[in-house]
Amino acid sequence: MATSAPSPEQPSYGIVVHEPPKFDLASYIANYKGRTVFRRLHLIASCSVPLQEDAARLAVVEAKKGSDVRNYNEAIALLKKAAKGQNVDKFLDPVWAAQQEKKNAAETSRLEGELKGYKNNLIKESIRMGNEDLGNHYYTIGDLNNAVKAYSRMRDYCTTATHIASTAFRIIAVAIEQKNWLAVQSQVHKIRNLQMKPDDMTKNQPKTFAAMGLQQMSTGEYYDAAISFLNTDASLGDSYSDVVTSNDIAVYGGLCALASMSRSDLQIKVLENANFRNYLELEPHIRRAINFFCASKYSQCLDILESHRPDYLLDIYLQPLVADIYKRIRTKSIVQYFVPFSKVTLASMEKMFGNPSTTQGGVRSPSARQKFLDEIMVLIEERKLDARIDMDHGVLEAVQHNPRAEAQKAALDIVDGFVREARMKLLRLQALNAGLEVKVPLSKKKVPWEADHVESLYDDALASGPVGPGGRDILTGNSQGSARKIG
Amino acid sequence: MDKVLDESTALDPVLIVQDPGQYDKLAAALSSKLKKIPAEDLAATQDILTTVSPTAHTIVYLYALLATIEASSGTGKVAPREIPPAVLPEGLLWPHILRILLEFDPIQVRYCGAQLLRLVDYVASGAEQTSNYIPAIQLLHHVILRLDSTSSTLTSTHRSFVRLCLLSQAYMEAIDILDRPIYHIPTSLVDQRTYKSLCTSSDPTWTYLNSATGLTHPLSSRSYLEYYLLGGMCYMAVKRYKDALFFLEVVITAPVVQNIASSVMVEAYKKWLLVGLLLTGVAPTIPQSASQSAMKHIRAVAKPYECIADAFKSGHAEKLRAEIEAGDNIWQDECNYGLIVEVFQAFRKFSVLRLGSTFVALSVAEVAKRTSPEPTNLDETRSYLQNLIASGEIKAEISDPDGNKDQILRFHPGLASSKSEMEVEANLAAQTRQLQSLLGHVQDAEHRMEVTKEYIEYLKKLKKVKDEEKKNSGPGNGRTATADDIDEDMMEEY
């Protein structure tokens, strides 16, 4: 039953977090409900070393509450791994698993039978509800593909905007678990375009924006994601806790904003945003990080983020993005730091941005210095940093631009390019006009481009042109070479 | 014979100004009359060649000379396709050939172009046969410019000339001609609308430089491609890579019919890739006007060269070296070995240049570590850098603060500031002139090929009216007409 190998559907995370996170597992997980609880526990149990056993135990309990047998088996596998040979038999309940499986199958056939009955009666509302029940059932037992199918069928029988919205939300929930961001996007757009009553609209708004933000963040559109999260109404509360909590919105929104926005934007759109302030109060360290960034105290900002890295690595949506988001924030910090200067010593920059873990007792190892230098070089090569390194004096110099000379050069280059282009076009026109398309030689019609084509072309020229018979022919040598290669 | 000479005397420059029509008639009549005279009779009057001025009596002189050549080749024992010895340099008739080709009258020659061309062919083939290229190159150079001082119309002589230059490595002569841009390619049909009379000298050159007057062989697509490939090779020989790239690009973007590519294009593509690397340090992007299907075939054949470009892009010297060594035979066989060597050297140059966009100053040891094939040999790196600086490839200096240790390579800032205001102004003025002449050619081409915007608009309207009529008269189906259709129709008409 409980196989040690993970099922192929399950993602392998490939990340191991050794540091303990700052949150308390029990209270953290209590914020969520629905299937996401198990998924989060599963992730923590797989990735975090200190929390491995606790999380696995919680996962078993959680799985047993539900009716997803596969989840249960995975949890058992995790627990066995975490227990490291200790006796875990008291958690095992093979009878439950077998029974639950039977129960699930029975329930499936019952619901399908009911749905068939509704379909015979041709009552739209009943069919819709039948499909909904079936979808919910599939969702709870973890058969996500069939759940999506049932929900999609349900769409056709929706009669009111509210129904359509609820269908869409159900599909979104499934799609988010499947990490099918394209489906999330399309469903969110569907909900947005619905004509609904104003109070329904306001009820749906935070959820749609949260889902939208999640989708944009996961596809790497950090700026759009930040805007979506910032616009998520504070009334979200715990109404969407089967996907994200308000705390998550604060973290996601704050990180996306840090990764994508300029300092003034951060100030205006994030810190002075009355709505988003409600979220930031839940996660004060994010607000502090943004404050530090706006106040140009980049190292403090980065330190805060760095200290929370384990937390974010254990977040189900943030985990794959942490490295990228952190890198962007760091890059932006370096660029922003350099803006007011024309010259900065590399040593002071390193003090600001050098990785504290690699500098021990104030003595910087040469490898750390080299690493930092490489980072700066990459930034310059990617043209994110408009500067040059002076290794002699150990300073980073901003490039002095000469706009007049650059404009002149650009003008000259443009004209050159135009003349070139125009001459090329004219020649082509002339060649077409003179009927000089490259054609298959008439003597060998329908011969596709191949080796003897070369020879025949050459023969052609021999017959018509004044090619000397005894002369050295550069082209013959060449074309034979190429012919040999084709053959 | 004397009568003919009299007629020839009548063709003096004064007549052109007074009555071009009359001149035209006289010259054409003279040419056709000479054509009818049996070659033996003409050859018999050899003294013409010594007594008559080739400038005043170009037509007569040419006919007589050709007849004489034919007579001499008839008597001597020569293999077919071989040039009679009398026509070779130091041959019996060479002085006459020299005289006529140097001093022919550019107007009269329009009436016996085929004859002039035969003479040119003799000279060119003779040069190849004897490997004595220099006299032929000088003569052809002179002929091209005497016929058309702007050399803006492509003729078969151009191709022979460039070919000879390449064979004899006389690149400077070739480039003198290559530098004059081609704006016209002669068609086999003569444009009747602008055709007045051959002798009117104000006419643009393409009115007489075509196969109808015989001043050029009918151009095939192959000779067109060859001219540009060979021209590109001349530029490459003198390291003018930018021009070479242009010439090669003309070849690879040449119009093709569906699914066909010429071997000349393959050659050009290979060289084009390498030259692009040499010029900019990155593989050039394939121009949009190149035919997709042709490029597919070409690239399939030129795979090893693309590997080189990839290795170059990857920035690993070792990978590039491995690729080059792997394809050793290919480069040798296809005569691109020299270019490949250049590319390898350029790789190092570009890596140093790239350092310049990241660093202001860094130690020579660092440069060696990053770019040199042997990172430990500092002296070699230093002398390499000094060479680069001396040749102006990089703007930098090597400072030597304390003895031999810790030498610093310091790049000088600013690429753009290297030009003074005066220079820029002069450049701009030159470009303005260039643009103006180019625009003239554009207008001319548009007019000649009936592709001005207004005219196409007019045609479209005309077509629409026709369609309307068709629709009104019955169930019409000619509604799918697009501007492209019209375009093509026009070309065919033409």
A420 touches B249 (CB < 8 A): no
Parse chain A into domains and list their residue ranges.
25-92, 197-335, 341-398, 403-437, 447-487
> What does the block give as tokens for A353?
């941005």
CA distance A68 to A37: 13
pLDDT of res. B257:
83
**For A439, which DSSP code?**
-
Look up tokens 């990180």; give the residue. A255
* Out of B221, B357, B361, closest to residue A438 by CB: B221
Q: Which residues contact A26 (CB under 8 A, 6 or more apart)?
A: A58
A471–B366 CB contact, under 8 Å = no
Amino acid at A111: L
Q: Rounded CA gap, B190 and B206, in Å?
A: 10
Are B264 and A419 in contact (CB < 8 Å)? no
For A198-212, A371-385, A471-485, B361-375, which range has the lowest pLDDT when averaged over its residues?
A471-485
B86: which DSSP letter?
Answer: G
pLDDT for the residue A353: 79
3-state DSSP helix/strand/coil % of chain B, to nearest 5: 65, 5, 30
Give the Cβ contact number of residue B343 at 10 Å: 24
For chain A, the average pLDDT equals 78
The string of pLDDT tens digits covering residues A434-465 is 877 777 766 543 434 443 344 334 433 333 33
Task: Select from A411, A415, A482 the Cβ nearest to the Cβ of B435.
Answer: A415
Nearest CA-CA partner of B107 in B68, B61, B59, B154 = B59
φ, ψ for residue A345, nearest 5 deg: -75, 145
**CA–CA dist A223, A259 (Å, integer):** 8
> B224: which chain A residues are within 8 Å (Cβ-Cβ)?
431, 434, 436
- The answer to whether the CB atoms of B223 and A415 lie below 8 A apart is no
Interchain pair B183, A420: CB under 8 A: no
Q: Which two tokens stand for residue B320?
A: 């590039």
What pLDDT score does B229 carry?
92
In Å, what is the CA distance from A286 to each residue of A246, A253, B226, B453? 13, 9, 68, 61
- Residue B203: other Cβ atoms inside 10 A: 15
Contact with chain A for residue B17, Cβ under 8 A: no
Question: What residues does each domain of chain B span?
Answer: 2-217, 220-357, 359-425
What does the pLDDT profile of chain B (494 residues) look like in tens digits?
Answer: 667 777 777 777 677 677 777 777 888 888 888 878 776 676 666 677 777 777 878 888 888 888 888 777 665 555 555 677 777 777 778 888 888 888 888 888 888 888 888 888 888 888 888 888 888 888 889 988 888 888 888 888 898 899 999 888 888 888 888 888 888 888 766 655 555 566 665 556 767 777 777 788 888 888 889 999 999 999 998 888 889 999 999 998 888 887 788 888 888 999 999 999 888 888 888 888 888 888 888 888 888 888 888 888 887 888 888 888 888 888 888 888 888 888 888 888 888 888 888 888 888 877 887 777 777 777 888 888 888 888 877 788 787 655 555 677 888 765 545 667 788 888 888 888 888 888 888 887 777 777 777 778 888 888 888 888 877 765 444 444 444 444 444 444 44
Task: Mark yes or no for CB contact B223/A461 under 8 Å.
Answer: yes
Distance from CA of A288 to the nearest CA of B (A): 35
Chain A closest CA to B108's CA: distance in Å?
A: 24
Q: Which residues of chain A make contact with B248, given a CB cutoff of 8 A?
A: none
Nearest CA-CA distance, residue A223 and chain B, Å? 29
Q: Which of A414, A416, A436 to mutate to test the interface with B (most CBs of B within 10 A)?
A: A436
Which candidate, B277, B221, B281, places its Cα nearest to that of B251?
B221
Q: Do A482 and B334 touch (CB under 8 A)?
A: yes
CA atoms of A328 and A331, how far apart (whole Å): 5
* Option in A391, A418, A468 nearest B362 (CB): A391
DSSP symbol at A367:
H
Q: Which residues contact B265 (CB under 8 A, 6 or more apart)?
A: A438, B225, B251, B252, B254, B256, B294, B298
For the record, the structure tokens of A326 come out as 């952190």
Please write the tens of the pLDDT for every residue from A401-435.
Answer: 778 888 888 888 898 889 888 888 888 888 888 87
Taking chain A, what is the end-to-end CA distance rounded to the nearest angstrom?
Answer: 60
Count of CB contacts below 8 A, A vs B? Answer: 226
Q: What is the pLDDT of residue A482?
A: 37
Write out the two tokens for B124: 């060119």
Indicate the SS3 state at residue A395: strand
Distance of residue A452 Cα from the nearest chain B Cα, in angstroms: 11
Q: Which two tokens stand for residue A482?
A: 């190429």
pLDDT on residue A296 = 85
Cα dihedral sign, B286-B287-B291-B292: positive
Residue A343 CB partners (closer than 8 Å, separation 6+) = A395, A396, A397, A398
Nearest to A466 among B121, B335, B491 (CB): B121
- CATH classification of A197-335 is 1.25.40.570, yes or no? yes
User: Among B63, B58, B62, which Cα is nearest to B38's?
Assistant: B63
Residue A457 has what pLDDT?
40
Per residue in A311-360, pLDDT (tens digit) is 888 888 888 888 899 989 988 888 888 888 888 888 888 887 766 544 44
Contacts of B334 (CB under 8 A, 6+ apart): A478, A481, A482, B267, B270
Torsion of Cα atoms, A351 then A353 then A359 then A362, to 10°: 20
**CA–CA separation, A170 and A20 (whole Å):** 34
Q: Would you tell me which residues 39-78 of chain B have a C-beta closer than 8 angstroms to some C-beta of chain A?
A: none
Interchain contact B408–A (C-beta under 8 A): yes
The interaxial angle of helices B337-356 and B317-326, nearest 10 deg, is: 170
**In chain B, residues 131-170 whose CB comes closer than 8 Å to chain A:** 131, 156, 159-160, 166-167
Distance from CA of A365 to the nearest CA of B (A): 19
Does residue A215 contact residue A185 with C-beta atoms inside 8 Å? yes
- Chain CA centroid to CA A424, Å: 44
Å between A212 CA and nearest CA of chain B: 38
B104 neighbors B55 (Cβ within 8 angstroms): yes
Sheet bearing A395-398, strands edge to edge: A343-345, A395-398, A387-390, B359-363, B408-411, B396-399
- C-alpha A57/C-alpha A71 separation (Å) is 13
Tokens representing B323 are 């690729």
B227: CB partners within 8 A, 6+ apart: B154, B158, B159, B162
Neighbours of B456 (CB within 10 A): 16
Residue A342 is classified by DSSP as S
B80 in contact with A at a CB cutoff of 8 Å?
Answer: no
Gap from A145 CA to chain B (nearest CA, Å): 42
Q: Is the dihedral of CA B483, B489, B492, B493 positive or negative?
A: negative
The burial of B453, by beta-carbon neighbours within 10 Å (0-12 exposed, 13-18 middle, 19 or more buried), is given as: exposed
Q: Which residue has the tokens 């003179």?
A: A434
Give, in words, the CATH class of B359-425.
mainly alpha
CA distance A253 to A255: 6
Beta carbons within 8 Å of B163's beta carbon, 6+ residues apart: B226, B230
Q: Pick from B256, B360, B427: which is nearest to A437 by CB?
A: B256
What is the chain A residue with the closest CA to B327?
A485
Reduced DSSP (H G I as helix, E B as strand, rest coil) percent helix, strand, coil of chain A, to 5: 70, 5, 25
In a mutational test of the A interface, the residue from B220, B328, B436 whose CB has the highest number of chain A CBs within 10 Å is B220
pLDDT reported for residue B285: 86
Across A410-446, b (16+ Cβ under 10 Å) vs e yields eebeebeeebeeebbebbbbbbebbbbebbbbeeeee
With H, G, I as helix, E, B as strand and everything else as coil, classify residue A344: strand
